[in-house]
Chain A
Amino acid sequence: MNLHMPPYSKAPATKMTPKILIQNMNFFYGATQALFDVNLEVPAQQITAFIGPSGCGKSTLLRCLNRLNDLVDGSRLEGQILLDGQDIYRADVDVTDLRTRVGIVFQKVNPFPKTIYQNVAYGPRLQKVNRRATLDDIVEKSLQGAGLWEEVKDRLHASALSLSGGQQQRLCIARALAVNPNVLLMDEPCSALDPISTAKIEELLHTLKEQLTVVIVTHNMQQAARVSDYTGFFLLGELIEYDNTKKIFTNPGDQRTEDYVTGRFG
Chain B
Amino acid sequence: MIAGLLLLIMANGLGFFWPKALVQLSLNDGTQVLGQMNAKEMIPYSNTPDAPEGKHRIQLKVGNRDLYGLDFRWIDEDAIQARSYPKDAVFVERREWGNFFGKILEVRKGSTVLASGSQSGWNALQPLVHHANEIHETIQHVETDVIGEINYEMEDIRLQLRGLNLTEHPDDQEKHSLNAQLETLQSIYEKEAETLRTLYDSLRDYSVVFIDANGQAQSLPVGQIIRVLHPNQMPWHEKALVYLSNIWMVLSEEPREANTEGGIFPAIFGTIMMVLMMSIAVVPFGILAAIYLNEYAHQGILVRFVRIAVNNLAGVPSIVFGVFGLGFFVYAVGGTLDTLFFPESLPTPTFGTGGLLWASLTLALMTVPVVIVATEEGLSAVPREYREGSLGLGATKLETLLRVVIPCAMPGILTGLILAISRATGEVAPLMLTGVVKLAPSLPLDSYFPFLHIDRKFMHLGFHIYDVGFQSPNVEAAKPMVYVTTLVLVAIVVILNLTAVALRNRMRRKYSGSTV
Query: Residues of A at under 8 Å CB distance from B?
Result: 66, 68, 71, 73, 96-97, 99-100, 103-104, 106, 108-113, 122-123, 126-127, 159, 161-165, 168, 172, 175-176, 179, 192
Contacts and interface: CB of A to CB of B under 8 A. Distances in A.
Contacts of B299: 73
Nearest to B397: A71
Interface stretch (B252-260, B386-394, B456-464): B386-394
A161 B513 CA distance: 7
A123 B403 CA distance: 11
B385 A106 contact: yes
Contacts of B510: 113, 159
23 contacts: A68-B388, A73-B298, A96-B394, A96-B396, A97-B394, A99-B391, A103-B393, A104-B392, A106-B389, A110-B383, A110-B385, A110-B386, A112-B386, A112-B390, A112-B404, A113-B511, A122-B403, A126-B395, A127-B394, A159-B513, A161-B513, A161-B514, A175-B393
Contacts of B404: 112
A79 B388 CA distance: 24
Contact of B393 (A126, A162, A163): A126
Given A97-B394, A168-B514, A179-B393, 12 more contacts: A68-B388, A73-B299, A99-B393, A106-B385, A110-B389, A113-B407, A127-B394, A159-B510, A161-B515, A164-B515, A164-B516, A179-B394
Contact of A113 (B298, B388, B396, B408): B408
B505 to A, nearest CB: 15
Contacts of B385: 106, 108, 110
B391 A71 contact: yes
Which of B386, B389, B396 has the most CB atoms of chain A within a 10 A radius of its CB? B389
A97 B396 CA distance: 10
Contacts of A71: 387-388, 391
B216 interface: no
B516 A165 contact: yes
Contact of B388 (A97, A103, A106, A168): A106
Given A106-B385, A112-B386, A122 B393 contact: yes
Which of B395, B396, B403, B516 has the most CB atoms of chain A within a 10 A radius of its CB? B516
B476 to A, nearest CB: 58
A164 B511 CA distance: 16
A8 B299 CA distance: 38
Contacts of A168: 514, 516
Nearest to B403: A122
Contacts of B390: 112, 122
A17 B512 CA distance: 45
Contacts of A68: 388, 391-392
A106 B403 CA distance: 20
B145 interface: no
Contacts of B137: none
B20 to A, nearest CB: 56
B399 interface: yes
Given A108-B385, A112-B404, A66 B512 contact: no
A97 B392 CA distance: 10
B225 to A, nearest CB: 63
Interface string B225-253: 00000000000000000000000000000
Nearest to B298: A73
Nearest to B399: A126
What interface size band does chain B fall in?
20 to 34
A203 B514 CA distance: 25
Interface string B276-305: 000000000000000000000011000000
Which of B387, B390, B407 has the most CB atoms of chain A within a 10 A radius of its CB? B390
A164 B516 CA distance: 5
A187 to B, nearest CB: 10
Contacts of A100: 393-394
B516 A126 contact: no
Given A110-B383, A110-B386, A99 B515 contact: no
A195 B64 CA distance: 88
A43 B8 CA distance: 79
A123 B393 contact: yes
A99 B392 contact: yes
Contact of B515 (A96, A126, A162, A175): A162
Contact of B512 (A113, A165, A179): A113
Interface string B403-421: 1100110000000000000
Contacts of A108: 385
Which of B298, B383, B408, B515 has the most CB atoms of chain A within a 10 A radius of its CB? B515
Which of B387, B392, B404, B512 has the most CB atoms of chain A within a 10 A radius of its CB? B392
Contacts of B393: 99-100, 103, 122-123, 126, 175-176, 179
A162 B516 CA distance: 9
A66 B390 CA distance: 13
Nearest to A67: B391
A165 B516 CA distance: 4
Interface string B104-131: 0000000000000000000000000000
B8 to A, nearest CB: 44
The 8 closest A-B pairs by CB, nearest first: A110-B385, A100-B394, A113-B511, A123-B393, A165-B516, A104-B392, A161-B514, A99-B394
Interface string B482-516: 00000000000000000000000000001111111
Contacts of B514: 161, 168
Nearest to A127: B394
A19 to B, nearest CB: 18
B389 A112 contact: yes
A103 B392 contact: yes
B49 to A, nearest CB: 78
B516 A192 contact: yes
Given A113-B512, A161-B515, A172 B389 contact: yes
A119 to B, nearest CB: 9
B379 to A, nearest CB: 15
A179 B389 CA distance: 13
B388 A163 contact: no
Interface string B472-487: 0000000000000000
A179 B394 CA distance: 9
Nearest to A160: B514
A106 B391 CA distance: 12
A150 B513 CA distance: 23
Contacts of B389: 106, 110-112, 172, 175
